[in-house]
Amino acid sequence: MVQVSQVTVAPRDASVFEVKAGQFFRIICDEGHQVGDLNLWNKNDLSERFYSGKTRQLQASHVTTGDRLWSSMPGLRPMATITDDTLGWYGIDEYGGSVHDVIGTRCDPYTNYQLNQIDYHYCCHSNLTRVLALHLGIDTVDAEPHVHDVMNVFMCTGFTLDTHQYFMKATPARAGDYIEFFAEIDLLGALSACPGGNCGSSHSDDDTPCYPLSVQVFEPAAGVLEGWSSPAVSSYSRTHGL
């Protein structure tokens, strides 16, 4: 493959990237153990976006090589397939934890204020909203409804074995770790470098050590994808109605 672009995501900030159908993209831990919150949209129709709940149902609570990220209805098709994951070795630990979570949502200022009565606007929800608004040239009020539940890249989570409560623990990701995807459709992506850093201690503050992430986009060699075509949207609503 040949690298065609790269975007750096600063700590406690977000960046937008674009990937054409048939290209690959990697999300990389550049300097340290950092979690990222990923949103994906159909570049040509933002109403079709990553659907974490359906991905969880069709794949698993934590995704790795071979798993696909599915889009919202009525499109309901694979948006991207994970083709490589340097944390694939982690599996499920003794606490029931694993990495690359599609269970949790994203840190947001609404919940943070409800719990702590603190205004904090570097939550991933805020970061994703601002960067999408900037990219589209629209107000944050209009951009915010497009921001959706995320794939928590590198995040280590699970449900406690006794009470089945959701927990987070420090990511095992280190500098150089990455997860790679094959874009099944034209994608617009946004990635936030979570203010929780490795998400093993405090969250949504300026005290936790945080590190940058990067997104690299690759063009495959000529002929590699011969015969491949982007998956069509689901025909169910047209052929069966509701």
What is the pTM (predicted TM-score) of this model?
0.96
62 within some domain: yes
What angle is formed at CA 76 by the lines to CA 223 and CA 6, rounded to 5 degrees? 50
66 domain residue, yes or no: yes
| Mean pLDDT confidence for 208-214 | 96
Q: Average pLDDT over the chain, rounded to whole?
A: 95
Q: SS3 of 206, please?
A: coil
Closest CA to 230 of 182, 164, 189: 182
Residue-number span of the structural domain to which 185 is assigned: 10-220
In a domain, 25, yes or no: yes
Enclosing H/E stretch for 238: helix 236-239
Total tally of structural domains belonging to the chain? 1
CA–CA distance, 237 with 37 (Å, rounded to integer): 31
Report the SS3 class of residue 199: coil
Phi-psi region at 100: left, alpha or beta (left = phi > 0; alpha = psi -120 to 50): left
Q: Which of 57, 53, 58, 3 is nearest to 26 (CA)?
A: 3
Look at residue 118 and tell me whether its pLDDT is greater than 80.
yes
| Residue 237 is assigned to a structural domain of this protein | no
- The answer to the question of residue 169 being in a domain is yes
Q: Is residue 234 part of a domain?
A: no
Residues ≥6 apart with Cβ < 8 Å to 107: 37, 123, 124, 125, 194, 195, 196, 203, 204
- CA distances to 117, 125, 136, 204 from 130, rounded to whole Å, are 22, 9, 10, 16
Whether 180 maps to a domain, the answer reads yes
- pLDDT tens for residues 84-102? 999 999 999 999 999 999 9
In a domain, 1, yes or no: no
pLDDT recorded at residue 238 = 83
| CA terminus-to-terminus distance, the chain | 43
Give the pLDDT confidence score for residue 7 in this predicted structure.
98
